[in-house]
Structure 1
Amino acid sequence: MNYRKLGKSGYDVSEIGIGCWQLGGDFGPVDDNRANQILRAADDNQINFWDTADVYGAGLSEQRIGNYTRSNPEPRFIATKVGRDGQLFPNGYTKAKVKANLAGSVKRLGVEALDLAQLHCVPTDVLKAGDLLAWMEDFQQEGLIKHFGVSVETMDEALFAVKHPKLTSIQTIFNLFRQDQATELFPAAQENNVGIIVRLPLASGVLSGKMTKSQTFAETDHRNYNKDGAAFSVGETFSGIPFTTAVDLADELKTMAPKDMTLVQLAMRWILDHPAVSTVITGASKPEQVKENVAVSALPPLSSELHEALKQFYFNKVKQHVRGVM
């Protein structure tokens, strides 16, 4: 495993992280035993960056992480999020309520202070008002959180937040189906020493290259109920691309991968080839997937010719299909 600095935290995080949304059961049922197996696989493969949120399974993801880490005390950097709980989102934000939610995360995770608390895709006008960021500074000074960042849905939000002098990180969607951050956000992040946390590197799994147009998903899976943006931003599911179109595009990308590389490896290695990226958070529904994801860290960089071909593929064939504000 290779490690990279996470912005102003100065902390060395694994360039492949583990996303823990699935531990809340939001992609289908996951029992305690399976959750522990996934977390153990993360430890066994030197993944020290774990990402969760207070709303994943209404706190279940955090609780499972807390239960596991109490029994398996090892150095880790655990990031969580605040701001999408129904008591706050979309217009119920107060300093007291945000602090109470963060305190709830502290309790569930079993820590004295949160390593990283990220504002969780809060409305643009709320973010730009500045109160939430000022409160996060206060919570940092009080010792409730060690570092804070933002998880954003749009480029506009990211470019606003990146200028904040105390901001440690920005979590953003970045993958072969969403490439604009490379030129619009990443230079500003490097200039301001802000770490980039990449989420949805496989565009909700469609960039695995294993899905078909007849694919079905569990009723509780956001790839079922939010495929057209019925529950939250359409850009969060399949990177905003209509599912059947995304499958076709993924199939075409498979033909561009080197002969000794799967589409998953191509998609992940492409992200890691961007030096502004601190870590890529990947979900896993079983331990074997964790090991497969980690293996990408050891792969050599892609050629400049392939990078250029993938860039042209995005701008000529993909970008026109992305729904939602990027």
Structure 2
Amino acid sequence: MKYKILGNTGEKISAIGLGCMGMSHAYGNIDDNESINTLHKALDLGINFWDTADFYGGGNNEKLISKVLKPNRDKVFIATKFGFRYDESSISFSNHVDGSPEYMKKAVELSLQRLEIDCIDLYYLHRIDPNIPIEESIGAMSNLVKEGKIRYLGICEASAKSIERANAVHPIAALQSEYSLLTRDIEAEILPMVRKHNISLIPFSPLGRGMLTENFDINQLKQGDSRLKLPRFQSPYLENNQKLVQSLTEFSTSKGITNAQMALAWLMAQGDDIIPIPGTKKQKYLEINAKSVDIVLSKNDINTIDSIIAKYPNTGERYNEDSLKLTNG
């Protein structure tokens, strides 16, 4: 495994992390035993940057991770989040955003209990609360650093302006936003802003929620899988995206790599400050993803990938309208 420095922290973390959401939330069937084996496999592969949130499975994801995290605390840089109030009636992100200091104080204590640790390495504000000035949210989070309950601060899905305002209150170590071959809107303003402040970009869904993986088949998604409600997985965009993935797969095959490895290598080629967190609950996919750190795409490769994407522009929005309102706050 290769390692990178997280933002301005000096902390050395694996060049790709492990997104743990799907182990407990949103992506169909749950298999705790396989997920635990996957967490152990991550340790074997040197993947020390794990990502969760109190929202995933209503806290169950943090509880699951604790079974491997607690006895291996010194081997893992753990990130979790607060800001979404869990609604058991919906597996998707709802509009129950709460970035208030009062809610944060309760949320962090519950996360510490579920993770069974004394201090969280990286604590994110999961979304910008439109009803709470970001200065209040970040100010309250900075107090947690003073109290020794968290080490570093992060924010998710924030606009360039919000990033600037947040960083003025307390140094922000990481911005987590969606970034992939299918989602590149952050390149215009947000990526330059995080680089201005030496903030690492942590792309979630770097594989397009599974669409940029091998043999992706919409028909294999189980009932209850949140992806079935997303525009990119529905007509008319689905047909465009299936053609796009097929063309990308042909390119990847010609290079002797998988589509997932190509997509991750492309992301890492965008800069040393970019640390993707592909999610998986299966060991075999984790091993595939881990090998991407050794793949170097040439300039011609990058140009070829860009030309393929340009042929199939009708990819659709990454979220439905309500969820999009919660991004780029």
What TM-score does the superposition give when structure 2 sets the normalisation length? Answer: 0.85
1:176 positional shift: 0.8
Q: 8 Å contact 2:237–2:315 — kept in the other structure?
A: no
How many Å separate the matches in 1 of 2:234 and 2:258?
A: 20
Could you tell me the percent identity over the aligned residues? 25
CA distance in 2, matches of 1:239, 1:6: 36
Aligned residue among 105, 112, 122 for 1:106: 112
The aligned residue for residue 28 of structure 1 is: 28
| Residues 17 and 48, structure 2, Cα contact 8 Å, conserved in 1 | yes
Helix, strand or coil for the counterpart of 1:279? coil
Answer whether contact 2:16 2:276 (CA < 8 A) is retained: yes
Aligned-pair distance for 1:99? Answer: 1.1
Give the AA of the match of 2:161: F
Letter of the 1:264 partner, please give it.
A
Do the aligned residues in 2 keep the contact of 1:70 with 1:110 (CA within 8 Å)? yes
CA deviation after TM superposition for structure 1 residue 239, in Å? 12
> What is the total number of aligned residue pairs between the two structures?
310
Matched, 1:170 2:170: no
Cross-structure match for 1:97: 103
Letter in 1 for 2:162: A
3-state DSSP class of the match of 1:282?
coil
Deviation at 1:189, TM superposition (A): 1.6
**Equivalent residue number for residue 216 of structure 2:** 211
**Amino acid of the structure 2 residue aligned with 1:17:** G
Per-residue deviation, residues 48-102 of structure 1 (Å, max 9, x unmatched): 0000000111111101111222233442100001111248953654312211111
Contact 1:208 1:263 (8 Å CA) reproduced = yes
Corresponding letter in the other structure for 2:249: K
Measured after TM superposition, the shift of residue 112 of structure 1 is 1.1
Match of 1:16 in 2: 16
Q: Structure 1 pair 244/26, CA: closer, same or farther in 2 (3 Å)? A: same
Contact 2:23 2:35 in 1 (8 A): yes
Q: For structure 2, which runs of at least 5 residues remain unmatched after alignment?
A: 88-93
Note if contact 2:21-2:56 (Cα within 8 Å) is conserved in structure 1: yes
Report if aligned partners of 1:209, 1:251 keep a CA contact under 8 Å in 2.
Answer: no
Q: Work out whether residues 240 and 323 of structure 1, in 8 Å CA contact, stay in contact via their aligned partners in 2.
A: no
CA contact (8 A) 1:82 1:102 kept: yes
Indicate conservation of the 8 Å contact 1:5/1:278, yes or no: no
TM-score by length of 1: 0.86
Which secondary structure does the structure 1 equivalent of 2:58 belong to? Answer: coil
* Number of the residue aligned with 1:181: 186
- Quote how far apart the aligned CAs of 1:182 are: 3.6
- In 2, distance between residues paired with 1:217 and 1:293? 21
Cα gap change, 1:315/1:126 in structure 2, threshold over 3 Å: closer, same or farther? farther
Equivalent position to 1:274, from 254, 257, 270: 270
Partner of residue 162, structure 2: 161
- Matched residues in 1 for 2:233 and 2:268: separation? 20
Q: Which amino acid aligns with 1:159?
A: A
Partner residue, 2:156 = 151
CA RMSD of aligned residues (A): 2.6
